Structure 1
């Protein structure tokens, strides 16, 4: 909450120094989140979360409050015209942090809404974009203890470096660029509200895959991991591999860095897509403990390589079966063979994955129970 207020007050100070007086600021409301929904009849619904600054007569100081708006119209433009006409103060979109399309909008198609947001001069191209799963009213009214403003809360989630194996979160300008590549297949993070007896929360969900701006499918956690490696965005995350010494247990490895190089070859009939993946890992945990020696280290490296390779093939085979090029095969192919006449490259593509994993050494303290290290080996529990 404190961080949110600092950000908003900073924006207000900048606004004051360039355009407005204090009196002007109190007549402006700043959006932090926009939710776009559609009714079964086709009418558009827009929800706004806004920050309104005002001067308190009781404390004689500047304060801010969160206000929610809802409006309906035949088109998205009508919705925003209606908002402007019904509000006693100007609504400013320059500080908006996130735009959410509901799952219903994604099924109908986001093209009309996205084009309006890009063309209208009041909107900026920096907000993150996501698909909202579930009821938008329940979502926007959910009390979040970490931040009163859902838009700022989501911005913090999307803007920080990825700590999990998932494709990157896209801002609007990145989504626009992605639409122009290959077969106009895009991937967008989805979010949902989660009511919990201890604390209500908002969480990231499956990744939505859109073709020609319409929802095709969602991909689950294991598929997200494979997609992250295929798209060269697997910078951080965890993987489980079978324990080499205790059957049924697992060893958890943490990815420190990963780089994926892509090559493509065409013989006139089929395409060979080669992904060369180089990954550095460290041992994070081991069920039942583990003693590391050269043989065990090699085993963990081999099993991690196998894990990554299998995940890449899993997600590739899914998209090939759907004939949906979410892995940007068409774009890579066209750059390498610009004159080749291939309509949908992924349908005639075979995947080859070459994975190399390097397990970095222990930091020294490895046996958390005895604080003892055997010479020539590492004992981790």
Structure 2
């Protein structure tokens, strides 16, 4: 919470800095409301429905403190721009998107397609700031009311993403990357998911799984368990943990901390089959051992071999699932077009064989590792 308040303070400082640089004066600032997140949906008639979480700053030359008020506006229109203008008709302030931190698409809007939203996001000058993108699964009401306790949804997601995007199971996409990937190959890309999870203290909004998009339309959901395999194959893993069964106590686990990971990719086409090569190098250390683990060369080799084979098995399973559905989330078509520019193959993912080599290293091990 303290860090979030600091972020709000920095946001307010950034907004008010515009006044000191001549873009706005204090009187102008007090007439502008800044969007911090945008929830985008479609109604039963396919009209665009938007909910804009805004911060309305207030400052005058006689005050030393900054003030801001959270407001949520709703608007409807045939297009995204018309919905924004509908919001403008009910607001006494000018709506400004330069501080937006998140575009959140409902599952309903995502399944019907993002084309009516993306064109404006891509071309409008004020929307040049490219925040994170999410697919939200669940009822809209708790999401809209998320900030009732003086917490800003957009700033919360910004903090959460910065903290969690290096977690190997989390799927992450910002608007800039989405706009690039939708135009590459067959236009298949993955956007991270948002869900509320019930725990002891109530509902908690978390990053969980995501959605696969093709032609700007949600075609398949991807769960959190598949996220690790996807991130390894796409070279998105930077840190995290891996759990391995303790070879000296099969009812307990050894936790490996990922210190560094790199996935090298190559693709080859022989005129009949496509081969997608993935060389994954993972440097780890033993972070925890349940029970007692006596570490020697045999134990280390067992853990390395077992986990490397386990990773290969899961990567191959996830690849096969989406290959059989003709969903190319692994950029096969894009890589082929770059390497073999004169070759045209329809649906190359169906002709692709995945060849994975995992090189897992365990660093800094001593002779005996006492468990926690």
In 1: Cα distance, 2:207 partner to 2:152 partner: 17
Give the C-alpha shift of residue 135 in structure 1. 1.9
In 2: Cα distance, 1:167 partner to 1:230 partner: 14
Q: What is the SS of the residue equivalent to 2:344? A: coil
In 2: Cα distance, 1:24 partner to 1:74 partner: 30
What are the superposed Cα offsets for residues 123-161 of structure 1, whole Å, 9 maximum, x if unpaired?
Answer: 12421111111122321202587x711100101122346
> For residue 280 of structure 1, what is the aligned residue in structure 2?
283
Q: Does 1:109 align with 2:87?
A: no
Q: Does 1:313 align with 2:296?
A: no
Give the C-alpha shift of residue 61 in structure 1. 5.0
Q: Does 1:347 align with 2:350?
A: yes
Q: What are the ranges of 5 or more consecutive residues in structure 2 without an aligned counterpart?
A: none
Describe how 1:120-269 pairs up with structure 2 within 5 A. Answer: 120-143=124-147, 148-160=151-163, 162-166=165-169, 169-269=172-272
Please, what is the CA RMSD of the aligned residues?
2.0
Q: What are the ranges of 5 or more consecutive residues in structure 1 without an aligned counterpart?
A: 365-375
Is the CA contact 1:31–1:91 (under 8 Å) kept in the aligned structure 2? yes
In 1: Cα distance, 2:64 partner to 2:170 partner: 47
> For residue 84 of structure 1, what is the aligned residue in structure 2?
88
Is the CA contact 1:144–1:201 (under 8 Å) kept in the aligned structure 2? no
In 1: Cα distance, 2:83 partner to 2:92 partner: 16
What are the superposed Cα offsets for residues 322-365 of structure 1, whole Å, 9 maximum, x if unpaired?
Answer: 10100101111222211112112111001110111100114x7x
Residues matched between the structures, number: 366
In 1: Cα distance, 2:303 partner to 2:197 partner: 36
Q: Which of residues 280, 289, 292 in structure 1 aligns to 2:292?
A: 289
Is the CA contact 2:40–2:104 (under 8 Å) kept in the aligned structure 1? yes
TM-score (structure 1 length as normaliser): 0.91
Q: Which of residues 75, 95, 98 in structure 1 aligns to 2:99?
A: 95
Describe how 1:59-74 pairs up with structure 2 within 5 A. Answer: 61-74=65-78
What are the superposed Cα offsets for residues 264-297 of structure 1, whole Å, 9 maximum, x if unpaired?
Answer: 1211111111111111011122221211111001
Q: Does 1:301 align with 2:304?
A: yes
Q: Does 1:40 align with 2:44?
A: yes
Q: What is the SS of the residue equivalent to 1:248? A: strand
Is the CA contact 1:167–1:227 (under 8 Å) kept in the aligned structure 2? no
Is the CA contact 1:162–1:235 (under 8 Å) kept in the aligned structure 2? no
Deviates further, 105-114 or 199-208: 199-208
What are the superposed Cα offsets for residues 202-238 of structure 1, whole Å, 9 maximum, x if unpaired?
Answer: 1011121111111111112221111111001111122
